[in-house]
């Protein structure tokens, strides 16, 4: 064996596994669902939105009754965004309804299981205080 024998062996390239970042929002891994994001249109109701996404009227009534202490489904506002998480199987049925009340507050209605879960949540908020300073060399009215 000589040093020249080492060069005859082919080196295999090292493969690095790149982990795909987890797409998580509202506490759910969005890659596990078909995600439908939309805004409430004029004439839309909570029941209509769910019915158009595979939920029957009896289940809609059950969901509405069970979440009325957390979220009044009659008070959805035109122009506010909502997100539906639907199953990726052949039923393609809505399982989670997320209604964004404003930029911070949102309501999650999870009806995947027999027991409907409703939770009012807030996005994390960071307050940054900034300071600006300068020197005024002349009267502001004389500068125009």
Partners of 29 in beta bridges? 24
Domains of the chain by start residue, with CATH? 25-122 (3.10.450.350)
DSSP tag of 114: S
pLDDT tens track for 77-107: 999 999 999 988 887 888 899 999 999 999 9
| Residue in the structure block whose two tokens are 């690095």 | 16
pTM: 0.72
Q: 70 pLDDT exceeds 90? A: no
DSSP tag of 21: P
Q: Would you call 84 exposed, middle or buried from its count of C-beta atoms within 10 A (0-12, 13-18, 19+)?
A: buried
- Tell me the mean pLDDT in the region 34-63: 90
pLDDT at 40: 92
Q: 42 pLDDT exceeds 90? A: yes
pLDDT tens track for 106-140: 999 988 888 888 888 898 889 999 998 888 777 76
């Amino acid at each position: 064996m000589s040093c020249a024998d080492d060069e005859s062996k082919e080196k295999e390239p090292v493969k690095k596994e790149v982990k795909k970042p987890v797409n998580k929002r509202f506490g759910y891994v969005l890659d596990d669902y078909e995600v439908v994001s939309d805004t409430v249109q004029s004439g839309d109701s909570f029941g209509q939105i769910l019915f158009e996404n595979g939920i029957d009227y009896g289940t809609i009534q059950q969901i509405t009754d069970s979440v009325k202490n957390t979220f009044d489904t009659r008070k959805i506002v035109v122009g506010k965004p909502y997100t539906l998480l639907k199953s990726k199987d052949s039923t393609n049925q809505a399982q989670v309804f997320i209604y964004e009340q404003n930029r911070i507050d949102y309501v999650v209605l999870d009806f995947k299981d027999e027991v409907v879960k409703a939770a009012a949540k807030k996005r994390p908020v960071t307050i940054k205080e900034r300071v600006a300073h300068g020197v005024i060399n002349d009267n502001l009215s004389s500068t125009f």
